[in-house]
Amino acid sequence: MKSHMPQVRLQKFLSEAGVAARRKAEVLITEGRVTVNNRVTKTLGTKVDPARDAVRVDGRVVVPHEKVYLVLNKPKGYITSVDDPQGRKTVMELLRGVAVKVAPVGRLDYYTEGVLLFTNDGDLAAGLLAPRSNVEKIYHAKFRGQVSQTDVEKLRRGVRLDNGRKTRPAKVDIIKRTDKHTWLVITLTEGQSRQIHRMAEALGHVILKLARVSFAGLPYFGLRVGEYRHLTSSEVAHLRSLAGLAPSR
């Protein structure tokens, strides 16, 4: 009987099934943790027929499924994690009604709100997070007190963080000033842990509120805090282009 689906490379199959990104899938194969029809397969490039071959990772059956792409308007008070040993609320609790297992792309801090992407497309997630992709992340940050134009220029050029690493040049502009606060719009092309808070601290400032208003060109327009939606095909194509991937078939 003829196969209903074309054969694909094993690491590609694992990635598209949401097991792991392509590189990690290759490691799983070479470590002997993957079987095809009950036989351990350590050869990269091995081809499988998703419709007929039984693929397992660490003994668990891998089931191919449709790729899912979501954008969430994350509220503060949730950690960006699939689960939490400490029992804190995670962003996964906000994805009610999503039957397919997905994972967040990158992180937003516990108190940070805004755009957070989810997918089971491991290659896309890895591509968007790779430093070479230069994916833009736009934030609105509320600073305590006055931020001088001199400090804005320093943020634009890059500042030295507490680990000694200097940040990449960033786009920074003042949105609004009051007697007590300064609002800045900050565009980054990197994603170090708590980066904007640490950039502010390097200049002696404190951030009171932080929201990511765009990730890779995706805004949260039309989404209330805590709501999510599926991406359109054109949005997915845009993300795949940014990640250096071919269009979806």
Round to whole Å and give the CA distance between 125 and 185: 25
In order, the DSSP letters of the chain are ---SS--EEHHHHHHHTTSS-HHHHHHHHHTT-EEETTEE---TT-EE-TTT--EEETTEEP------EEEEEEPTT-BSSS--TT---BGGGG-TT--S--EESS---TT-EEEEEEES-HHHHHHHHSGGG---EEEEEEEES---HHHHHHHHH--B-TTSPBPPP-EEEEEEE-SSEEEEEEEES---TTHHHHHHHHTT--EEEEEEEEETTEE-TT--TT-EEEPPHHHHHHHHHHTT-PPP-
Q: Considering 49, 53, 83, 109, which one is annotated as catalytic?
A: 109
Burial letters for 62-78: b for 16+ Cβ neighbours within 10 Å, e otherwise? beeeebbbbbbbbbeeb
Catalytic-residue membership of 109 = yes
Pairing of strands 228-230, 103-104: unpaired
| Residues 137, 214 contacting (CB under 8 angstroms) | yes
**Using the 8-state DSSP alphabet, how is residue 44 labeled?**
T
| Catalytic residue IDs | 109
